[in-house]
Amino acid sequence: MAIAGHEIGDGDVRRAPRPGGTFESPNERRLIHSIPIGYTIDGSRGIRDPRGMFGERLGVDMHVVPPPPARCAI
């Protein structure tokens, strides 16, 4: 997400790219749970709380829990 060099605030953290309920899978299964575990600013990883920092691009590393695969009827 572009942040154009301004100070990162609460709104930027809320708008950071996150899974919106679906993720890349052949049948677009819904997510059970997702939580941010870290942020990146301009490629620098491992940032726990980016608020108050400056940069050009903000990203988020997520822990996601997908549903179990569907059972096949035999």
Report the predicted TM-score, pTM, of the whole model to 2 decimal places. Answer: 0.71
The set of long-range contacts for 22-30, using a CB threshold of 8 Å and a minimum separation of 24, is: 23/64, 23/66, 25/66, 27/70, 29/66, 29/67, 30/67
Tens of pLDDT along 14-62? 888 765 545 555 566 677 788 889 999 999 999 999 999 999 999 999 8
**Out of 47-51, 62-66, 67-71, which region has the weakest mean confidence (pLDDT)?**
67-71
Provide the pLDDT for residue 6: 92
Provide the pLDDT for residue 7: 95
Task: Please check whether residue 48 is in contact with residue 15, taking contact to mean a CB–CB distance below 8 angstroms.
Answer: no
Of the two residues 66 and 50, the one the predictor is more confident about is 50
Task: Please check whether residue 17 is in contact with residue 29, taking contact to mean a CB–CB distance below 8 angstroms.
Answer: no
